Amino acid sequence: MKTLFTRFPENPILTPQSISASSADLKIECLLNPGAFRYNGRTGLLLRVAERPVQREGMISFPIYDMQTGIKVIEIATNDPELNLDDPRVICYKGEDFLTTISYLLPVFSEDRIHFETDPAYGPLLGQDKYSAYGIEDCRVSQINDLYILTYTSVSPQGVAVGMKTTHDWITFEESGLIFPPHNKDCAVFEEKINDRYFAFHRPSSPEIGGNYMWLAQSPDLKHWGNHQCIARTREGHFDSARLGAGAAPIRTDKGWLAIYHGATEKNRYCLGAMLLDLNDPSILLARSEEPLMEPQEAYEMKGFFGEVIFNNGHLVNGDELTIYYGAADEVICGAKASIREILSTLDT
C-alpha cells in the first residue's frame, strides 16, 4: 500500500547517547515513547528514559525508587537460587517481579521540531510514591487552554496503573494520584469537553475473560472517571490481534475524532492504525483501519532493545499536517509526517 507517513530523514532524532544518565552508576538503555506538546513557542517532547545500573560480572542489578532514599540499586548474585530470569524484561526474585530498567520522564525542547535539547530550567519528572517504585512510562500530554494534562503508566509491586499530573508552567505540577487502577495504561485525555464532560481513552487488561481492548471513560473534573465503555477490541489475524491502545489525544476533524492508535500481534510486532469516532459521542466507532497505516520497516525500527516496534503517544497538528513522534524498537526516538486528509481517506465510513 501507499506510504502515508513520511519519516524524518534525520531519524532517529534522539538515541540513548543523546543525553546523560541521571548518575554515574546508571546507563541509559532506551529513550522512547515521547509525549509531544507546544510551550512558549517551542516544541516539547516528554521522553521516557529507561535506565539500568552498570552491570558487574556474576551479579545482576536493577534500580527501584525508595520513598525515603530516592533511587536504590538492588544487586543479586546471578547464581542465587531464588532468582528467575526467564523473561528478559522482568527479574523475578523471591517470588516478586522487578523490571530490568526503571523509567522517568524528561522534557526536551526544539525550535525546528527536529533537533531537541534538554533545558536546565525544566527538570526530569521522577516516580515519587509507592505506585511508581518501578518507574513512570509513556506519558501522553494533552492541552486544554493553558493546562497541560500528563497521563502516564505508573509501575510498582501494586501493579501497572495510570497516574496523572497537571501543570501550567512545566515547573510546578499538581498530582492527582492514580486515575485508573491496575491493570491499565495508554491513557490519553481528549483536548476539549464534549457535552460538558471530559473524555479519555484507556487500556485495561484482563487476566481472564476479556482482553487488551481500548476503552473510553468520562469525567466531570479530570480526576474522577466513570461510565467506562469498550470502543475497540482486538481482531484475529489483523495487526492488532493481541492488544491495542491509544496514541495521543484524538484529533478533531469534520468527519469525527481521528485517533491514531497502536496495535500489536501475539509476536509483539507493533504498528500504527487509525480509528474515527463520533464527534458528539466518541463511544461510537465509525471506522477503523483494516491495514496498518505505518509498520516497522527501517533498520532503527526492526532492531533495538525490542525489535519490530513503532509506538506513538505524541503528535502535533498544523492544519492538514500531522507530525508524529514515536519510539522505534523500544530504543530510539523518531518522527514522521502525514496528511490528515489522506489518513481519513483510508477509513471506510
Binding site for a copy of itself (CB under 8 A): 90, 95, 97, 99, 130-131, 134, 155-161, 176-184, 202, 204-211, 213, 215, 217-221, 223-230, 233, 236
Residue 119 vs 281, nearer CB to a copy of itself = 281
Rounded Cα–Cα distance for residues 122 and 150 (Å): 15
Encode burial over 283-322: b for 16+ CB neighbours within 10 A, e otherwise. Answer: eebbbbbeebbbbbeeebbeebbbbbbbbbbbbbbeeeeb
Shortest gap between Cβ of 115 and a copy of itself (angstroms)?
36
Shortest gap between Cβ of 215 and a copy of itself (angstroms)?
5
Shortest gap between Cβ of 176 and a copy of itself (angstroms)?
7
Shortest gap between Cβ of 184 and a copy of itself (angstroms)?
7
Residue 123 vs 181, nearer CB to a copy of itself = 181
Residue 48 vs 202, nearer CB to a copy of itself = 202
Residue 14 vs 161, nearer CB to a copy of itself = 161
Shortest gap between Cβ of 99 and a copy of itself (angstroms)?
8
Residue 169 grid coordinates: 508552567
Residue 214 vs 316, nearer CB to a copy of itself = 214
Q: What are residue 16's phi and psi, to 5 degrees?
A: -55, -25
Residue 243 grid coordinates: 492488544
Residue 121 grid coordinates: 530550567
Residue 153 vs 323, nearer CB to a copy of itself = 153
Shortest gap between Cβ of 177 and a copy of itself (angstroms)?
4
Residue 331 grid coordinates: 530504543
What is the amino acid identity at position 69?
Answer: T
Residue 273 grid coordinates: 492504525
Spatial strand order of the sheet with 147-156 comes to 136-144, 147-156, 159-167, 173-180
